[in-house]
Amino acid sequence: MEFDEYVAVRGQQLVRLGYVLSGDHHRAEDLAQHALMNAYRHWRRVQGMDDPHAYVRRILVNAHISATRRGSSRETPVAVAASGHSEPDPASALAEHDAMWRALAALPPRERTVLILRYYEDLDHASIAAALGIKESTARATLHRALASLRAAHDPPVAKGTSSEHDRP
């Protein structure tokens, strides 16, 4: 197995081991990087071993033990001050963005076009109507339908007997 393949297969496993050992994600990445750098230097010899992963894992464990013996004299952890608000999870923002694009792509072409002209191109109803060759009232109604479809795709239906956020005072 070549070194690049090894890293692709076992790299995240080394980071997880480093995290379990150190309890810190950044320190875990440093431990994994240290182990991989040392293994890379001697990869021909490591590659020929019965279990190369055991050797690299041992490098990582030894690096962790050495760091704890030193007392981490080179780095001093600093407490992160509470900001009073939590940061939004970037993954949820990406999921919401993806869901919105899927909902937009599922709209009929005219509704999608009206939405894009209104909110991306920032055109008013009259300009949208002129661009599509339709009446202004048709442009408004189409925009209304498109927004209703997007809302329906974004907000799951509420089961009978339960209240939604919109029903609460």
**Residues listed for the chain:** 169
**Mutual angle of helices 136-154 and 125-132, in 10-degree steps:** 100
How confident is the model over 44-96, as pLDDT tens digits?
999 999 989 889 988 988 888 888 776 655 555 566 655 566 677 778 888 88
Residue of 163 and 14 predicted with greater confidence:
14
Alpha helices (H) along 23-167: 25-41, 43-47, 52-70, 90-106, 109-115, 125-132, 136-154
- pTM of the prediction? 0.44
Q: Are 31 and 60 in contact (CB under 8 A)?
A: yes
- Name the one residue in this structure whose structure tokens are 């992160």: 80
Distances 88 to 79, 85, 91, 98, 99 between C-alpha atoms, Å? 20, 9, 9, 16, 17
- CA-to-CA distance for 73 and 66, rounded, in angstroms? 11
Q: Please give the DSSP secondary-structure letter assigned to residue 73.
A: T
Question: Lowest mean pLDDT: which of 49-53, 100-104, 123-127, 148-152?
Answer: 100-104
- pLDDT for the residue numbered 78: 63
For the residues 111-129, what does the mean pLDDT come to? Answer: 83
Residues 39 and 85 sit within 8 Å (Cβ to Cβ): no
Tens digits of per-residue pLDDT, 123-136? 899 988 988 889 99
What is the C-alpha separation between 7 and 5, in angstroms, rounded?
Answer: 5
Domain positions in the chain: 3-70, 91-157
Give CATH for domain 91-157.
Answer: 1.10.10.10
